[in-house]
Amino acid sequence: MGEITNVMEYQAIAKQKLPKMAYDYYASGAEDEWTLKENREAFSRILFRPRILIDVSKIDMTTSVLGFKISMPIMVAPTAFQKMAHPDGEYATARAASAAGTIMTLSSWATSSVEEVASTGPGIRFFQLYVYKDRKVVEQLVRRAERAGFKAIALTVDTPRLGRREADIKNRFVLPPHLTLKNFEGLDLGKMDQANDSGLASYVAGQIDRTLSWKDVKWLQSITSLPILVKGVVTAEDARLAVHSGAAGIIVSNHGARQLDYVPATISALEEVVTAAQGRIPVYLDGGVRRGTDVFKALALGASGIFVGRPVVFALAAEGEAGIRNVLRMLREEFELTMALSGCTTLADISRSHILTDGDRLRPTPRL
């Protein structure tokens, strides 16, 4: 294996190393996978308008998210079943994110529990949540995350039903028998209680509440004081409703293109959502980020930060914790270089005028 020079190179290594069923679970998108490709390709249609002859000898990438100071606006998205990629699973991810001085979001379908992740040492961690038909289960998960010192809830709202991922259907995907959904162990699962662990994953997926609505966001606020990020917003209409609901922030996400195919790339939906939020709550972007240039483009369109998912899992499969550290390092260094070459020394310097989108090119008059 030659020296890894960019984040994308880990995917090929992961494909070689992982069983087909595991790799396909991580890599695939919904149905035709149009949005999966578009999440990447949409970034390539945004061009830079760099400013020159600016002193860029000192660059500050620090920012704060919900009041928590982090080293860079690059955070770790929630991804399920990480021990399927590497025996260290979420432990490795937690340590790598902490070492990079950034936030990790733990999937509620993790193969390590909130307590196990907390035991890796200090770090700012968010907990991703699905709402289940049995609200007592939801409440127990939230309490568990609170007690383990997690700082926010990322509520996934684009999954009343699971998207149709054809690779998983062909492979008859099941969680390997030695793994389990650790956050559900020791909970009073009531009607959800199933003896068979490998069956638990598909069973729990079937327990996601299809009646989930904005009133449930209010309910969640009533049972926890943790800030709630609404993850899965792609329209101005829902951005306004999220603000109205009292959400602490929005994550523009299409679930890594795993839910509804033919939704726009998140980078294409971002500006609409940012405009609708009117600066009242921060907006973050999730999906398709593979380069420091992508991070810059998202911030130029108004994002307060980005989350990266698949690259973390592929690097984990390839090299464990060291792989994830390397992904976060490469993204950080590329982003710093992009800032310097664009003439920006702080995140506040990054503006809409630093980029040119397809829409801008269609406008007859130049933007001054």
Q: Are strands 47-48 and 355-356 parallel, antiparallel or unpaired?
A: antiparallel
SS3 106: strand
Neighbours of 188 (CB within 10 A): 10
Tokens 């020159």 correspond to: 52
Is residue 234 part of an annotated ligand binding site? no
Give the pLDDT confidence score for residue 1 in this predicted structure: 59
Q: φ, ψ for residue 132 (rounded to 5)?
A: -100, 160
The pair of structure tokens assigned to 6 is 């960019």
User: Can you give the C-alpha Rg of the chain in angstroms?
Assistant: 20
CATH for 7-360?
A: 3.20.20.70
Q: Which residues are paired to 249 by β-bridges?
A: 229
Contact (Cβ atoms closer than 8 angstroms) between residue 163 and residue 259: yes
Is residue 259 part of an annotated ligand binding site? no
Is residue 132 part of an annotated ligand binding site? no
Contact (Cβ atoms closer than 8 angstroms) between residue 236 and residue 275: yes
Give the pLDDT confidence score for residue 204 in this predicted structure: 81
Per-residue pLDDT of the chain (368 residues), as tens digits, is 579 999 999 999 999 999 999 999 999 999 999 999 999 999 999 999 999 999 999 999 999 999 999 999 999 999 999 999 999 999 999 999 999 999 999 999 999 999 999 999 999 999 999 999 999 999 999 999 999 999 999 999 999 998 999 998 999 998 898 998 998 887 777 665 554 444 556 778 788 999 999 999 999 999 999 999 999 999 999 999 999 999 999 999 999 999 999 999 999 999 999 999 999 999 999 999 999 999 999 999 999 999 999 999 999 999 999 999 999 999 999 999 999 999 999 999 999 999 999 999 887 655 55
Q: Which residues are paired to 154 by β-bridges?
A: 128, 229
SS3 per-residue string spanning 307-353: EECHHHHHHHHHHHHHHHHHHHHHHHHHHHHHHHHHCCCEHHHCCHH
Q: Which of 86, 178, 244, 255 is catalytic?
A: 255
Is residue 258 part of an annotated ligand binding site? yes
The Cα–Cα gap between 177 and 55 comes to 56
Distance spanning both ends of the chain, measured CA to CA:
48
Give the pLDDT confidence score for residue 365 in this predicted structure: 58
Give the pLDDT confidence score for residue 59 in this predicted structure: 98
- Residue 104's Cβ-count burial label (10 Å; 0-12, 13-18, 19+) is buried
Asked about 255 being catalytic, the answer comes back as yes
Question: Which ranges constitute the DSSP H helices of 113-253?
Answer: 114-118, 135-147, 166-171, 197-206, 214-223, 236-244
Is residue 239 part of an annotated ligand binding site? no
Is residue 255 part of an annotated ligand binding site? yes
Give the pLDDT confidence score for residue 363 in this predicted structure: 74
Is residue 354 part of an annotated ligand binding site? no
The Cα–Cα gap between 90 and 86 comes to 9
What's the distance, CA 112 to chain centroid?
18
Secondary structure letter of residue 346 according to DSSP: B
Is residue 156 part of an annotated ligand binding site? yes
The Cα–Cα gap between 221 and 205 comes to 23
Handedness of CA 110, 328, 76, 24 (dihedral sign): negative
Is residue 288 part of an annotated ligand binding site? yes
Is residue 300 part of an annotated ligand binding site? no
Contact (Cβ atoms closer than 8 angstroms) between residue 296 and residue 342: yes
Is residue 144 part of an annotated ligand binding site? no
The Cα–Cα gap between 112 and 45 comes to 38
Give the pLDDT confidence score for residue 195 in this predicted structure: 44
Contact (Cβ atoms closer than 8 angstroms) between residue 303 and residue 52: no
Q: For the chain, what are the domain ranges?
A: 7-360
Distances (CA, A) of 250 to 53, 78, 155, 190, 285: 36, 15, 10, 32, 8
